Amino acid sequence: MSDMVTREQMTDYTLPEIQVLHQVGAPVATDYAVLSGAYTWTDAHCAVLSSSGTEDGGVLYIDCDGVEDWCCSTTRDVALCPVMPASEVAKYCPEGAKAGDVFTCQDKEYPQDATDEKTGAELDALEKAGQLTYTGRTFRRDARGLRDYDKGFQPKQFPEVIYRNKRFIHVPAKLCDGDTRLSNGQAVSNGQLVWVEVQPTQWRVLKDGRAISLKALAAGFQLDSARDYDGHFHKTDMSRLVLPAISQDLEPRRAKTAAQAKTQATAQPAGPRKVTEWSIEPDEVHVARQRLNALENEKRMCLAIIRRYEQDLKKSEQPEHS
């Protein structure tokens, strides 16, 4: 997943005026992409960034009408449709699929749709009570603001939780257009926290054997922090940093063996914060340690309050000396 579609690949299908993303409908940004800064038109239709450059240092993108345009390489509000290598397409795509066919990859999940109001409220209540179940997996966005044009990629991790056999992350809205309405009808404003479900991704097969994501999965990333793009995609921040991070976030969950499951069941007591996944990475351990330190500090504070209360109560019960 270390590449993006080029201008030629986006326009090489039967209908010459329509890009590959329009064969089953215009490109639509997921709620997660919208919450990450994607510029959208009606019904969340969006522009999609390519890896092709212009003669004057810009980068080409295709808008929701299939029209080619360009923007500066530091722009952050054009959405991304990652590309799956041919080797992975052969692994996940149904046998006999041809160029233009769409398939769902259950193993490659990514945050996409905002939750309904009821589920969001239930997750909020669990979070407030400290009873969320974390899977140990995280997803990354760029922590930079949409107008931080001269600043490079700064990943920020959002931990995944599991609730009623579904997985979610909690992210603040970073909107391109201020107030926005999501696919569930929810109106959101900048900075508002939204629960987003982690779901299987859909892909469309390209003529060269690769596949492009059916929906725009991500946004808020810039092609490069340098303003002039020379067309050498492999040198950009997008190629070196952003797409590898997205690719890693799309990696399939590791299936636990029976022995691992038995070890986990005997070694860990049951509890609401039990980690249920085994694909643990060093940065996830760092996040877990930070959370543990925060809980320990809260515990010490609570114990201090209880001791103070018990001391005051004991003093109040002592008889006064005349």
The residue-averaged pLDDT of 47-67 equals 80
Q: How far apart are CA 149 and CA 304, in angstroms?
A: 47
CA distances from 317 to 176, 307, 310, 320, 322 (A): 62, 15, 11, 9, 15
The 10s digit of each residue's pLDDT in 4-51 is: 656 555 444 333 333 444 443 456 899 999 999 998 876 677 778 888
Is the whole model's pTM more than 0.75, yes or no?
no
Q: Which residue has the higher pLDDT, 228 or 267?
A: 228
The secondary structure of 89-128 as a DSSP string is: HHHHSPTT--TT-EEEEEEEEEEEEEPPHHHHHHHHHHHH
The 10s digit of each residue's pLDDT in 145-159 is: 999 998 999 999 999
Neighbours of 137 (CB within 10 A): 25
Cβ(127)–Cβ(271) under 8 Å? no
Q: Give the residue extent of every domain in the chain.
A: 7-249, 282-322
Q: What does the buried/exposed string (b/e) look like for 210-225 if buried means 16 or more CB atoms within 10 Å of the residue's CB?
A: bbbbbbbbbbbbbbbb
The 10s digit of each residue's pLDDT in 92-137 is: 998 888 888 899 999 999 999 999 999 999 999 999 999 999 999 9
Cβ(101)–Cβ(203) under 8 Å? no
Helix (H) or strand (E) holding 193: strand 193-205
Q: Which residues contact 147 (CB under 8 A, 6 or more apart)?
A: 76
Q: How far apart are CA 90 and CA 133, in angstroms?
A: 34
